[in-house]
Structure 1
Amino acid sequence: MKIVIDAGHGPNTPGKRTPDDSMREFHFNSVTARYARDELLKYEGVEVLFTHADEGSRDVPLKERTDKANAWKAAVLVSIHANAYGSTWNDVQGIETFVYSTRPAAAIKLAEAVQQNLLMGTGRKNRGVKADNLHMLRESNMTSILVECGFMTNYEEADLLKSDIYRRKCAKAIVAGIVETYGLRREADANPKVDGKANVVLNGAPAPDGFIASGATYVPVRFIAEAFGARVTWDGNSKTVFIEKGDS
């Protein structure tokens, strides 16, 4: 699945900064975009394209961005932003997600999923899913949304937007919304690191064949289930283990 991540604006875009000039919007947008890309690449079949200049060398024009996304034939585009209300400090706050004015059903579905994950992940005020005639949404040929992750003109949210923890939260929430919408599957670790044997004792009985791999402890599921009175069956066709609680 081809996904475009667009960090809105650029390092020198006029006016796109906190009132005290302590943070430029592109700094939030680009770092969050990088975290989102890194998280998305953990899923099967996902490719990610940036339409901005990741190194911040220039402000990429909007037309160049959408032309690049369209030429790549992406399935999804997410444009990441920090919001502002005027140019001075004020109390306006919260998170909102935009779709194009015609409110395409696919974009609405993605926007709602991303918006809900952003709210759960950050605890900020819900400003809802909205429609607007924005270039990145209008001129892109794929399902496109634009997220506003908080207000640079609000003291509290400006501090959050400068925070690496908050940027990671926003990135993870955006990716979670994409994953939910398109049913993406996380790539399995093809070669888990086996760290050695693990001694597991359950109700005084040692578990057979316990081992540690990639930081997790593994024992046969039948040993654990039957110790708690559950019945275990195996379906070889679907390669599924069924565990059913025993009668109380």
Structure 2
Amino acid sequence: MSLFKISLDAGHGGFGVTPGKRVPDGSMYEWDFNGAVVKNIMAELLNYEGVTMLRVDDPTGKTDVPLKERSTKVNNWGSHAHISVHANAASDEWGPAHGVETFTYTSPSKTSVELATKVQNSLIKATGLTDRGVKKADFHIIRETHMPSILVECGFMSNKEEAALLKSSDYRKKCALAIVEGLADQFNLKKKPVVVKPVSKPVETSTVKVNVITGWYTEGSSGLAALEKFLKDHGWKYRKEIVKE
């Protein structure tokens, strides 16, 4: 079975290495969200058959890998699809803009549009946020990559309510799972079969008491002494009966 190659990038860099790209109060960089979503996407894709992955941003977030370097890596690797993860912003101040949108290049392939539509629908269903639709843009990462490519904007950092969601680990995972769902639907990816480990049955122990009769011994004999020693050494209780002939 041939491998399906999926490449991913978390937009920008973290720790302030990319100018701007943060919530207005500075409490989160965009990469904090983007990087977490990409990490969750990759973890979820491990559950699918025949999938291999390439991440082309800096997974530490400490550098902002140039866009040209990212697209070159993706093309040279021969990815079958590329997804760039982002969080949106309308300005550097808090504002009303809200919702989720997914971008293709201005002259996209049919598969790019289909992928974008499925991922967008999956994100809206999972998040319940406003559907801003599938749009076109001249972004480098979806223009210069030679395979179906999309860029997702999973909410607005400049919106207080959505900024709170973007900081949430639960929302980040929710977005990741929704993106994978759309990707799997478009390319017919199949989940690996679940391996169920057999549950070992507990060893049954009987509560019935058993009286063990070993035979007759003469009082003071070596045989009786050896038997008593054996029982005592093993912590077993025993009882002697004196029988008069």
The number of residues matched between the two structures is 197
| Structure 1 SS opposite 2:199 | strand
Partner Cα distance (1:170, 1:196) in 2: 38
2:7 paired with 1:9? no
Deviates more, 1:158-167 or 1:54-63: 54-63
Which of 70, 73, 81 matches 2:78?
73
Partner Cα distance (2:69, 2:185) in 1: 30
How far off its partner does 1:83 sit? 0.1
How far off its partner does 1:192 sit? 2.7
Partner Cα distance (1:174, 1:19) in 2: 26
Partner Cα distance (1:184, 1:66) in 2: 24
Q: What is the TM-score of this pair, normalised by structure 1?
A: 0.78
Which of 104, 109, 112 matches 1:104?
109
Which of 186, 197, 216 matches 1:181?
186
Structure of greater Rg = 2
- The one-letter code sitting in structure 1 at the alignment partner of 2:13 is G
| Structure 2 SS opposite 1:195 | coil
| Structure 2 SS opposite 1:9 | coil
In structure 1, list runs of 5 or more residues that go unmatched: 198-248
Per-residue CA deviations over 1:23-82 (Å, capped at 9, x if unaligned) read: 000000001100001101210000011010101231100000000101110000000000
Query: What residue is the counterpart of 2:220 in the other structure?
Result: none
Contact kept in structure 2, 1:41 and 1:48, CA below 8 Å: no
How far off its partner does 1:86 sit? 1.1
Query: What residue is the counterpart of 2:23 in the other structure?
Result: 18
Aligned pairs for 1:77-156 (under 5 A) are 77-156=82-161
**Runs of 4+ more than 2 Å apart:** none
Partner Cα distance (1:57, 1:95) in 2: 27
- The one-letter code sitting in structure 1 at the alignment partner of 2:158 is T
Q: What is the TM-score of this pair, normalised by structure 2?
A: 0.79
- The one-letter code sitting in structure 2 at the alignment partner of 1:154 is N
2:196 paired with 1:192? yes
Per-residue CA deviations over 1:145-181 (Å, capped at 9, x if unaligned) read: 0000000000000000000000000000000000111
Query: What residue is the counterpart of 1:157 in the other structure?
Result: 162
Partner Cα distance (1:84, 1:57) in 2: 21
- The one-letter code sitting in structure 2 at the alignment partner of 1:110 is L
Identical aligned residues as a percent: 47
Query: What residue is the counterpart of 2:235 in the other structure?
Result: none
Query: What residue is the counterpart of 2:233 in the other structure?
Result: none
Contact kept in structure 2, 1:4 and 1:69, CA below 8 Å: yes
Query: What residue is the counterpart of 1:55 in the other structure?
Result: 60
Larger relative contact order (CA 8 Å, sep ≥ 6): 2
Partner Cα distance (1:41, 1:143) in 2: 21
Partner Cα distance (1:103, 1:62) in 2: 19
Per-residue CA deviations over 1:67-117 (Å, capped at 9, x if unaligned) read: 010111000000000000011000100000000000321100000000000
Partner Cα distance (1:159, 1:129) in 2: 24
The structure with more strand, counted as a fraction of residues:
1
- The Cα RMSD (Å) is 1.2
